[in-house]
Amino acid sequence: MNHFLNLSWALLLFVAHLLVALRALTRPNRTPASRIAWLSVIMLVPLAGMVAYLLLGETSIGQARIQRMRRAEKSIAKPHEGLVAPEAVAPQALPLFDFCHYITGFGVTGGNRITVLRDADAPASEPMRNSLAAIDALVAHIEQASEQVHVAVYIWLDDDKGRQIAQAVAAAAQRGVQCRLMVDSLGSRDFVRSATWKMLACAGVKLHATLSDISHLRHMAFSRVDLRDHRKIMVIDNRIAFCGSQNFASPLFRIKPRFAPWIDMLLRCEGPIVRQMQYLFLSGWIPETGETGLDHLPAQAPENSLPGASTAQVFETGPTARFSAMSDMFVACIYAARKELVITTPYFVPDESMLRAICAAPRRGVKTTIIFPARNDSWLVGNACRSSYMDLLQSGVDVHEYPLGLLHTKSMTIDGELALVGSANMDRRSLELNYENNLLISDKDVTAQILERQMGYLSVSHRVDPEVVRAWPLHRRLTQNFIAMMAPVL
């Protein structure tokens, strides 16, 4: 009898193992590298591999959430203020804006005013001052708000800067401003349990910790448990918006102080682009909270609709976006470069198409520079990143490491004409899993501001020497390459 039971269990496990392996092989929207990596895990550690694949192997947020999102998107009119005709867009930028429109449905807006927030007196050796100035500017605008404060942020810490922002929002709510705050339930897990969170609720602020339910047992069979809302969206009075890499925390980042300070970039935006960010916030808020009556928010006042000269478009992706949309956007931007390409990213685990595009840029005559943090707060990502150094260096890419903290800015400038700035890293999480929002900008003056910040990073960074990389010991290279090989699973 025992022998029969053991045989039955063995047969059941074999069938389950085979079905999971077949699912990994036949699931659509998966790269060959991802299939091979998952198949290796499933075969090498059968039981753990099967469980890992079922929990983490597929990008799904569950049909119920997808239906709520679709209903919300249909209930809000797509913003159409300030759209520009294709002939008014720079020819180099037009294919990029067309791709954005294909993915998001947003049109190209003109007449925007976009500024990189900074401390004008901060030297490159004191980059933390720019982040502090950006937070102070955000707080000042919240203090002047008269109608709405809408915020979606990944990490909100209960530290001095986090509390400074929270106190400004609470004060705004108490004077009658409609305040809605949406934080990621994992990235801000300590904040949602803090006294400051309770203070905000008591002040009348509408609060929500997003994706808090996907790790619940009843959702595990229908959605991936590690999906995150990585967006940074701030909209004030439907008139001013902020976008970039800045979380709501002191640059000293007390949860990982040995990698501090965090070095970020935040853009202040006015004009029609604000409506796209407002739409982006609401299309996330409504399905998460169920709040109704938000589809008739007032349009931007005509006198404020064209405050500047920047052409811009919001580019957002997530688990429900077309597969590889963020990767394709990065690749399209890289191939658009003709003279110069400068990239900063803290987390670099590219897919094959992105790595090949970057390596091809110098061979096309494009001066290509990438700046990474010298020390990464993720040991796995840091090693995966360095596994690509030799490919980059041999292709002629100038690779630099930033030593004054964790360079957290996610930016790309193209020929001094175009820029892409936002929340998305060049790693598998941003490319395939997270909700992300970037801003594509066509404006020489704004791009010059972003490029100036990038050059400030570069001025204090150390150039990576190919000879030093070649001299890395075998065990180090094996570790890096193994981690990179398993990147689709991580």
Active site residue 444: no
The tokens describing 175, both together, are 């004077």
What is the average pLDDT across 182-193?
Answer: 94
Instruction: Tell me which of 230, 351, 377, 427 is the catalytic residue.
Output: 230
Longest Cα–Cα distance of the chain, Å, equals 84
Residue-level pLDDT at 14 = 67
Instruction: Tell me which of 141, 150, 400, 408 is the catalytic residue.
Output: 408
Active site residue 415: yes
What is the average pLDDT across 123-138?
Answer: 89
| Contact yes or no for 298/178 (Cβ under 8 A) | no
Does a cis peptide bond (omega within 30 degrees of 0) precede residue 251?
no
Active site residue 410: yes
Question: For the whole prediction, is pTM greater than 0.75?
Answer: yes
Buried b (16+ CB within 10 A) or exposed e, 14-45: eeebeebbebbeeeeebbeebeebbbebbeee
pLDDT band at 490 (very low <50, low <70, confident <90, very high): low
Active site residue 377: no
Instruction: Answer yes or no: is pLDDT of 307 > 80.
Output: no
| Contact yes or no for 150/285 (Cβ under 8 A) | yes
Q: In the beta sheet, which residues pair with residue 367?
A: 340
Active site residue 475: no
Instruction: Tell me which of 158, 184, 229, 237 is the catalytic residue.
Output: 237
**447 vs 441: CA distance, rounded Å:** 8
pLDDT band at 401 (very low <50, low <70, confident <90, very high): very high
Going by their DSSP bridges, the two strands 233-236 and 266-270 should be labelled as unpaired
pLDDT band at 224 (very low <50, low <70, confident <90, very high): low
pLDDT band at 337 (very low <50, low <70, confident <90, very high): very high
| Contact yes or no for 136/156 (Cβ under 8 A) | no
Instruction: Tell me which of 377, 410, 427, 443 is the catalytic residue.
Output: 410
Active site residue 230: yes
What is the average pLDDT across 9-13?
Answer: 68
**pLDDT (tens digit, 9 = 90+) per residue, 225-269?**
677 899 999 999 999 999 999 999 999 999 999 999 999 999 999
Residue-level pLDDT at 227 = 79
**pLDDT (tens digit, 9 = 90+) per residue, 33-68?**
677 777 777 777 777 777 766 666 666 666 677 777
**56 vs 52: CA distance, rounded Å:** 6
The tokens describing 330, both together, are 């990065």
Instruction: Tell me which of 232, 264, 377, 427 is the catalytic residue.
Output: 232
Q: Which of 363, 318, 321 is closest to 341 using CA atoms?
A: 363
What are the structural domains, with CATH classification, of the chain?
10-22+31-52 (no CATH), 63-311 (3.30.870.10), 325-485 (3.30.870.10)
Q: Give me the helices (H) in 341-415, please.
A: 352-363, 379-386, 389-394
Strand positions, DSSP E, 102-224: 109-116, 148-153, 178-184, 206-210
**403 vs 372: CA distance, rounded Å:** 9
Strand positions, DSSP E, 258-328: 262-263, 266-270, 310-317
pLDDT band at 127 (very low <50, low <70, confident <90, very high): confident
Scanning the structure block, which residue is given the tokens 């500047």?
308
